[in-house]
Amino acid sequence: MSPVTEPIDPELLPLTAREGPEGLSVGGVALTELAERFGTPLFVYDEEHLRQRCREAVAAFGRDRVAYASKAFLCTAMARLAHEEGVLLDVASGGELRVALSAGVPAGRIVLHGNNKDEAELRTAARAGVRHVVVDSFDEMDRIERLHGTEALPPVRVLLRVAPGVAAGAHESIRTGGHDSKFGFGLADGVALVAVGRAAKSPAMILEGVHAHVGSQVLDAAELAAGAAAIARFAVDTGVRELTVGGGLGVAYEAGRRPASFAEWADAVREAARGAGWTGPLSVEPGRSIAARAGLTLYRVGTVKRIEGVRTYVSVDGGMSDNPRPALYSSRYEAFLPRSPRAPRPLRARLVGKHCESGDVIIDNAALPADIGVQDLLATPVTGAYGHAMASNYNKLPRPAVVFVRDGRARLVVRRETENDLLRLDVGGPADDLGAVAGELVAARE
């Protein structure tokens, strides 16, 4: 059967995905049942898949040498799961820090990132006693020293983020390690060396190491190794004791792609670091490679529009508000019908969302079963990273619920937003009695 029409590749599905009488199940629960119980759109995560990926990362790099990049997907259940599996938490804002702490993750197992941390974020991190603050600029050093001097906050243990001049990744927007980057101290122009000197002498900072991240969605471990070699040489020259080479390991979003394994990644970056003279510990920060394939998104088809001689449009009840990556990065996905996961997919259609936006395209040229129709349940796999995390309320759509499935049980970990939630922060108030009518309509719909 040609690649254009063949069924969805099992390598794109969560590890516990199985076909049964009710179609595809994950974690022992039928996707059709989940849609009926929790509604759509819906983010579904295979908990066993998440745990196994955490374990594989720890096995490859060692305990306390893996920090989950929580920007990929974070809620209290995910933070707790990663901690239970021996993984540190990498957070990039005060909000992510709050979620991790609320999940019961000890501050000493949290690393704070961010290219523009404000005083409130730095104050919280210092008082909590996070494992490391990854310092990104001289202005941030100014803030740390000011807080230390005026509020008597304890000195923070820091890693310095370095831009090594090596950029990798599938799209310009996710290449972070080049010289022209908003992140880190430049290596090529000598700024990183100046930063090391200042941090080492500052009473407000305890310099422990350096950090670099060259980009995301990298399928070839050799690209990540090149970044590791550059930062390792700098780490050796400066005499620091900690080296973090970031994350960036990619995943397959479409059939026929093969990303490196954690073990292959570990071998490549270790060899590169050793070649540069580094003999100390090596840490990494995977995010997408832990969460992406573990999750899929369920939608309900609402419209099938056939334009003779042009194309077919299939519209679902979500879109760019729950998966902005196709619009942002031209990211490509596949789709299938959970009722018949092994069905051929000869129909070519543009899979679109319900937003008032022509660019609200989930898959531009999707392969779908010929009998797809209104009210069909449709799934897009490999959406566990940067779907929920980047979701918005565009067009005032409530954000979807998140469900974890394992051993035949489903548990709601993030509830679906309601239309009342959309008004919760609105302080304008009704101008007249029409406001009361609008409130009654919202209540009736819920």
Both tokens assigned to 273:
């670091």
In the block, residue with structure tokens 């994950």: 26
Tally of residues, the chain: 446
- Residue type for 239, please? G
54 given a catalytic annotation: no
Instruction: Please give the span between the terminal C-alpha atoms of the chain, in angstroms, as a whole number.
Output: 46
In the 3-class helix/strand/coil scheme, how is 268-320 assigned residue by residue? HHHHHHHHCCCCCCEEECCCHHHHCCCEEEEEEEEEEEEECCCEEEEEECCCC
Nearest to 17 by CA among 7, 3, 8, 27: 27
Nearest Cα to 306, choosing from 253, 349, 256, 275?
349
Contacts 24+ apart (CB under 8 A), 234-239: 234/162, 234/164, 234/187, 234/192, 234/210, 235/209, 235/210, 235/278, 235/280, 236/276, 236/277, 236/278, 238/193, 238/196, 238/210
Find the catalytic residue in 1, 310, 356, 444: 356
d(CA 72, CA 51) in angstroms, rounded, equals 15
Which of 227, 248, 243, 294 has its CA nearest to residue 54? 294
- Strand (E) or helix (H) holding 122: helix 119-128
Angle, CA of 282, 288 and 293, to the nearest 5°: 130
d(CA 228, CA 270): 8
CA dist 407 and 28 (Å) reads 6
Q: Give the list of residues 6+ apart from residue 164 with CB closer than 8 angstroms, or none.
A: 177, 187, 212, 214, 227, 230, 231, 234
SS3 (DSSP) at 48: helix
The residue type of 424 is R
Which residues lie closer than 8 Å to 51 by C-beta, 6 or more apart?
Answer: 81, 84, 85
CA 241 to chain centre: 29
Q: 378: buried, middle or exposed (CB in 10 Å: 19+, 13-18, 0-12)?
A: buried
> Which token pair is 380?
């897009």
- In three-state secondary structure terms, 173 is helix
Active site residues: 356
